[in-house]
Amino acid sequence: MRTHRLVWLAAIGLLALALAQCGGGSSTPTSPSPSPSPSPSPAPAPSPSPGGGGGGSLSISPQTIQSQGQPQATVTLASAAPAGGAFVLLSSNDTAIARVPANVTVPGGARTATFVIDTSTVVTNTTVVITATYGGAAMSATLTVSPAGSGPLGASFVVRSRSRGTGACAADEDSKELDCVLDASASQGGVSAFLWTYTMGSMTLRHTAPAGNAASSPQGTGCTFYQQGTGGDGPNGDRFLNMTVTLQLRDASGTLSGISQQAVKVYPNKLCGFSY
């Protein structure tokens, strides 16, 4: 009996061992590994927008001018304009007295642009606010327009070329005439006439403009006039001819003002036999 029981117990032990080797029986469950959470993609950085007008300025020269004068305004940005240029909006708080273009563009890489203000006739000193807006920021300057024909005579002028800027003239490709404007609108007193002369070498030309025409162009210029000139060289390598411009004022009684004189650069633009 005892022998049978031992045999039976041994058989049960062998069966349990066989089941364990075959994977039978219970086993401790294994917890599944958690799936890794996906990392959020970084949000794209916004493209930078053009710099605003903060820190920029607007200036007008001269700040006081007689009726019908044309002062020049300069917009200066705080930093260089973007590659496509900076589009600056312009406005006047009294367009009946002072009118400005709707806008002006500062070229890419530059900080300044200029424009001309047209003024009307006034009977008393009138102040107008001119505003330039860029990038949501406004830049303002004041202009005072005074009645014409008051006070002592005082000649003052500026020369502006369409293509070369202030203090210069250039020969027009089609007419061969100078493209500049002689602007005496900053002159003072009871002006009845503007007496202009422009000299190149031994040749002097002249014209007279009435009181209502403070800004006029040189007259009678052309190849013969330019060929009398002597050349000059600028610090940046540009070449030009030297011209002297004078202005004298005359009032209704015939009294003359002192003479105002300026040296002006003339660019022949490779016309009339010039190589520059």
Residues 154-180: pLDDT tens digits? 999 999 998 899 999 999 999 999 999
Residue 9, burial from CB neighbour count under 10 angstroms (0-12, 13-18, 19+): exposed
Instruction: From 191, 176, 192, select the one nearest 272 (Cα to Cα).
Output: 176
Residue 171 included in any domain: yes
Which token pair is 59?
A: 């200036």
SS3 199: strand
Give me the number of domains the chain comprises.
2
**Do both 203 and 84 map to the same domain?**
no
pLDDT on residue 5: 56
Which of 107, 131, 147 is at the close of a domain?
Answer: 147
Which token pair is 49?
A: 């927008």
Task: Fill in the DSSP letter of residue 107.
Answer: P
**Do both 169 and 141 map to the same domain?**
no
pLDDT on residue 253: 79
**Do both 168 and 276 map to the same domain?**
yes
**Do both 113 and 208 map to the same domain?**
no
Residues in the chain, pLDDT under 50: 1, 22-34, 42-51
pLDDT on residue 191: 84
Which of 90, 125, 147 is at the close of a domain?
Answer: 147
pLDDT on residue 53: 54
Which of 97, 129, 147 is at the close of a domain?
Answer: 147
pLDDT on residue 10: 55
pTM, two decimals, is 0.53
* CA atoms of 26 and 15, how far apart (whole Å): 15
**Do both 272 and 197 map to the same domain?**
yes
How far separated are the first and last CA of the chain, in Å rounded?
135
Task: Fill in the DSSP letter of residue 256.
Answer: B
**Do both 254 and 183 map to the same domain?**
yes
**Do both 177 and 238 map to the same domain?**
yes
- CA 247 centroid distance within chain: 31
Residue 189 included in any domain: yes
Q: Which amino acid type is present at position 129? A: V
Residue 29 included in any domain: no
* CA atoms of 239 and 193, how far apart (whole Å): 34
pLDDT on residue 44: 43
**Do both 211 and 249 map to the same domain?**
yes
Residue 109 included in any domain: yes
What residues make up the domain containing 231? 149-276
pLDDT on residue 43: 46
Sheet (strand 137-146) strand order: 64-66, 137-146, 126-134, 86-92, 103-106
**Do both 135 and 163 map to the same domain?**
no
CATH of the domain at 200: 2.60.40
* CA atoms of 34 and 1, how far apart (whole Å): 57
Omega prior to 38 cis, within 30 of 0: no
Instruction: From 218, 178, 170, select the one nearest 198 (Cα to Cα).
Output: 218
**Do both 181 and 251 map to the same domain?**
yes
